[in-house]
Amino acid sequence: MTAEQDTPAGDGEAPALDLDRLLAEIDEEVERRRASGELPAELERELDELFARFAPSTPGDNDLDAIVEQVERASFISAAVPVESGKPGASQIKRVLRKLMAWYMNHLAAQVTAMGGATARALRVVVARIDLLSNRVGNLEELVTDRSGAGLDAGGPAGEPDTGDVELLDAWADAVVEVLTDVDGRVLHADCADGRLVTRLLEVGLDAYGVDPRRDVVDPAAAGGLDVRSGTVLEHLGAVPEGALAAVVLSRSVDVLRRADQLRLVRAAAAALAPGGVLVVIGTAPEAWGRRRSPVEADLAPGRPLHPDTWSHLAAAAGFDPVEVRRRDTDHDLAVIPVDSDLSSALNANFARLAAAVFGADSHLVVARKPRS
Amino acid sequence: MSRVRAVHQFVPVLYPHDAVGGHTLAVQALLHELGYESEIFVEATHPAYAGRTRPYLDYGTGRGNGGGPGDLLLLHVASGTVQADFLNRRSEPLVVDYHNITPSSFFEPWELGAAHVQSWGRAQLVTLARRAVFGVADSGFNEVELRQVGFGATAVAPILVDPGGFAGEVDAGVGERLAAERSGAEWLFVGRVAPNKCQHDVVAAFALYRRLYDPGARLRLVGGPSAQAYWDAVAGYVAALGLEGAVELAGSVPEGAKAAYFANADVFVCLSEHEGFCVPLLEAWWWGVPVVAFAAAAVPETLGGAGVLLGDKSPARVAAAVDRVVRDARVRAGLVAAGRERLAGEFALERSRARFTAAIEQAIEAAA
């Protein structure tokens, strides 16, 4: 059977097509030609390469030098207007007009070219300064990423999806659901990992979606039907219209962003939230940071977690009021001894105080509300 | 707000034989039938429509130029326009009819000016999302873009195209020339020669098709340039492949000539990577030309199964698909029938008018 379905078509009627089968047959035809040598693998590549000879170089967004070169090329303005024409006599008329107007057009073109050249020179200076700054700052994310192959603060072995942050999400999920129960509107969770908190929020009737920079974690969740997208929280919030969200839940990347980006993040969340909106930060306690992360990752991450008091301060400075902090105690306990006397009770009590002093809180939830007016 | 008495449209320029231009005129006729006053305000008047449009800066200046309570404003958006800034400063409720803005990244390597206009339009769309009470989109693909930039209330209403309008008189001279030149399968693509429409991919697939299937085949690319540098590159590519005698870069042609190209074609090949709707698919269906298309942007939605939709556009796969469509009479007949059915069903003018009417009613409700 071929692409036509085997249902009988009436007189004069066209047969219904099975397009999936047709596509499969087309694929088979291509494979057959490839296998027979009629369609050498390099032939299609050569077609691509040939067109590339006619295409302008396409600098990537990060190739500043190439972009400046493009500006330099474009800064020369020619007053020699093309005069070709398919219409009889038009070419001669254009040529005469060009000659008559040359004194005027050349004057303008010279000024515009000078301005373009000056702009390109200014860009060169800016690029040089950016290069200098980049060299001084270094690129720590690359060091960490190269080590793990799985993102900024990969918790898992190299090459495996990083899901090291899900323990915190699970620990705080009930509290987040309780805080957001009454919000009315879209709820963003970043970084959403495999979408587990988004799922919890959807289950209680919230309009939740997620963002996470780790494609290897996000893509399977998106394939499963969740509204989760690949991207960084700062980029995403930058694209969200002001006041479009009812709540923003931040986790994971809040711990490792640079200071300046942590400050930007609070301001961006404040802008994206509608009046009455809620900002929730699930953060790692700075004291617990070294325990929760590998030493290499902890040392090379561009930023460090903030104390909950600092998040509160930043939220208040961005106009949030009230701001509430909840802490989760560590699950690291010192072993206790059997209680068989006042002495053992006293020792156990001292062990508990010692554990609290040494290990402290493990993580925290900061809940900040944007005033309604 | 007061009861809506007038729905005035804003479009940069009303061009003849242009999808958005034809849609704007059809919307005006529909609004008049619905009992609304409706004028078309433009940045520049095309000579073909002198007397039928008004300068947008005249809006709200009296003398029958609208303005104030009772007006609903409908802005057609397909690129950056000063009208968006003008309307953002006014207080009348605003509706955006979104025909899609091609991402500037397509144009950046080729024409910075065109890239700027597109990115300007995208930035304006974000501000329009805050200002507009409603967004109408030609396609579900366009509606998603509206939602992404923040439009809260939206509806999909296909562009108003009268398939009967495709039945213009065929330019006999062009038709005779095409018939005389026929030496094999006739490929056709109609659309501006622009980086997002990827005419170079059609040329690559065509080159392979001639080598593997039909050395006498010809390709007709109808449409003027959107980026001259891209046009030049496509022309250079054709020459480098030694296909000058087999590929015609026809440029922008009158309607009669376009009809002749459709009437002559064996297959319509669309390998575009960005389309907000793709009206030429409807034209191909009307002319009974089977469609082979690449699945990108709104094309799968518009095509709706009435064509061969390819998930990748490797020249070999495109060539094999075209060969099958051209050579297999039953496949060809099935595709032609599916196209005509879709044209008479999903995109029948009355159906599209009903959907647009419903969208306008929703917009008026949102403005209330």
Contact A44/B331, CB-based, under 8 Å?
no
Q: Do B321 and A26 touch (CB under 8 A)?
A: yes
Contact list in A for residue B309 (CB cut-off 8 A) is 19, 23
Mutate to test the interface with B, among A36, A38, A51, A229 (most CBs of B within 10 A): A51
Residue contacts between A and B (CB atoms, under 8 Å) = 98
Q: How far is B322 from chain A (nearest CA, A)?
A: 9
Which structure tokens are listed for A158?
Answer: 């190299």
pTM: 0.62
Exposed (0-12), middle (13-18) or buried (19+): which is B203, by Cβ within 10 Å?
Answer: buried
Dihedrals phi, psi of B319, to nearest 5 degrees: -60, -45
Burial B255-266 (b: 16+ CB within 10 A, else e): eebbbbbbbbbb
A13 touches chain B (CB under 8 A): yes
Using a CB–CB cutoff of 8 Å, tell me whether B351 touches chain A: no
**Considering chain B, what is the average pLDDT of its residues?**
94
Letter for the amino acid at A255? D
On chain A, the residues whose CB falls within 8 A of the CB of B110 are 56
In this predicted structure, what is the pLDDT of residue A155?
A: 42
Query: CB-CB: which of B149, B229, B315 is closest to A44?
Result: B315
Q: How far is CA B4 from the centre of its chain?
A: 30
Asked if B204 lies within 8 A of A22 by C-beta distance, the reply is: no
Name the residue of chain B whose CA is nearest to A3's CA.
Answer: B331
B38: phi > 0 → left, psi -120 to 50 → alpha, else beta; which?
A: beta
Percent of chain B with pLDDT over 70: 99
Class in CATH terms, A166-369: alpha beta
The span from the CA of B156 to the CA of B149, in Å, is 16
The per-residue pLDDT for range B183-221, each reduced to its tens digit, is 999 999 999 999 999 999 999 999 999 999 999 999 999
Contacts of B330 in chain A (CB under 8 A): 4, 14-15
Distance between CA B305 and CA B341 in Å, rounded?
11
Distance in Å, alpha carbon of B306 to nearest chain A alpha carbon: 9
* Geometric angle at alpha carbon B256, from B253 and B257, rounded to 5°: 45
The H or E element that residue A119 is part of is helix A90-137
Question: Cβ separation of B321 and A57 shorter than 8 Å?
Answer: no
Produce one character per residue of A157-171: b if its CB has 16 or more CB atoms within 10 Å, e if not: eeeebbbbbbebbee
- Taking alpha carbons only, the member of B278, B260, B259 closest to residue B269 is B278
- Check residue A76 and give its pLDDT: 83
> What is the DSSP code (8-state) at residue B195?
G
Q: Which residues from chain A sit within 8 angstroms of residue B337, using beta carbons?
A: 13-14
* Six-digit token string for B12: 């940069």
Domains detected in chain B: 6-161+348-367 (3.40.50.2000), 164-344 (3.40.50.2000)
Question: Which chain B residues are Cβ-neighbours of A39 within 8 angstroms?
Answer: 208, 212, 316
CA–CA gap between residue A137 and residue B272 (Å, rounded): 43
Tokens of B58: 């005249």
Q: Which two tokens stand for residue B234?
A: 């496509």
Q: How far is CA A61 from CA A56, B219, B307, in A?
A: 15, 35, 36
Contact at CB, B331 and A4, closer than 8 angstroms:
yes
Using a CB-CB cut-off of 8 Å, the residues of chain A touching B129 are 241
ipTM of model: 0.89
Residues A356, A285 contacting (CB under 8 angstroms)? no
- Interval B99-123: pLDDT, tens: 999 999 899 888 888 888 899 999 9
| Per-residue model confidence (pLDDT) at position B180 | 97
Q: Would you state the pLDDT for residue A58?
A: 59
Give the integer Cα–Cα distance in Å for A224 and A338.
50
Is the CB of residue B310 less than 8 Å from the CB of residue B295? yes
Structure tokens that stand for A220 in this block: 């399977």
Chain B residues in contact with A13 by the CB 8 A cut-off are: 337
DSSP state of A297: H
pLDDT at A211: 93
**Per-position DSSP letters for B71-129, written without gaps between them:** EEEEEEESS--HHHHHHHTS-S-EEEEE-----GGGTTTT-HHHHHHHHHHHHHHHHHH
Show me where the domains of chain A are located: 19-52, 64-134, 166-369
Closest chain A residue to B212 measured between Cα atoms?
Answer: A38
Q: How far is B137 from chain A (nearest CA, A)?
A: 19
The three-state secondary structure class of A333 is coil
Owner of token pair 């998040």: A311
A12 touching B (Cβ < 8 Å): no
Instruction: Test A30 with B320 for CB contact under 8 angstroms.
Output: yes
CB spacing of A56 vs B109 below 8 angstroms: yes
Confidence of residue B1 (pLDDT cuts 50, 70, 90): low
The answer to whether residue B359 neighbours chain A at the CB level (below 8 Å) is no
Angle, helix A308-317 to helix A259-272, in steps of 10 degrees: 50
Q: Does A331 touch chain B (CB under 8 A)?
A: no
Q: What angle do CA A107, A111, A115 make, to 5 degrees?
A: 170
What was the pLDDT predicted at A218? 87
Q: Is B338 on the interface with A (CB under 8 A)?
A: yes
Instruction: Count the Cβ atoms, other than its own, within 10 Å of residue A200.
Output: 19
DSSP tag of B60: T
**Partner-chain residue, chosen from A3, A48, A240, that has the shortest CB–CB distance to B331:** A3
Using the Cβ of B208 and the Cβ atoms of chain A, whether some distance falls under 8 Å is answered with yes
Tell me the shortest Cα–Cα distance from A201 to chain B, in angstroms.
21
Q: Which amino acid is at B6?
A: A
Torsion angles phi and psi, residue B219, rounded to 5: -120, 130
Number of alpha helices (DSSP H) and beta strands (DSSP E) in chain B: 13, 13
> Is 50 exceeded by the pLDDT of residue B351?
yes
Contact call for B331 and A17, based on CB within 8 A: yes
Predicted local confidence at residue A159, as pLDDT: 43
A15, HSE (Cβ side, Cα atoms, 13 Å)? 15
Residue B91, judged by CB atoms within 10 A of its CB (0-12, 13-18, 19+), counts as exposed
A67–chain B nearest CA distance, Å = 10
> Which has more pLDDT, A352 or B142?
B142
- Cβ contact B241–A50 (<8 Å): yes
What's the confidence (pLDDT) of residue B338?
Answer: 96
Least confident range of A97-101, A213-217, B64-68, B77-81: B64-68
**Bridge partner list, A250:** A190, A281
Interacting residues of A343 by C-beta distance below 8 A, sequence separation 6+: none
Positions in chain A short of pLDDT 50: 1-2, 4-12, 141-161
Q: Please name the member of A19, A54, A240 whose beta carbon is closest to the beta carbon of B308.
A: A19
- Which amino acid, B215? P
Tell me the C-alpha to C-alpha distance, in Å, between residue B134 and each of A6, A239, B72.
47, 20, 11
pLDDT at residue A240, rounded to an integer:
84
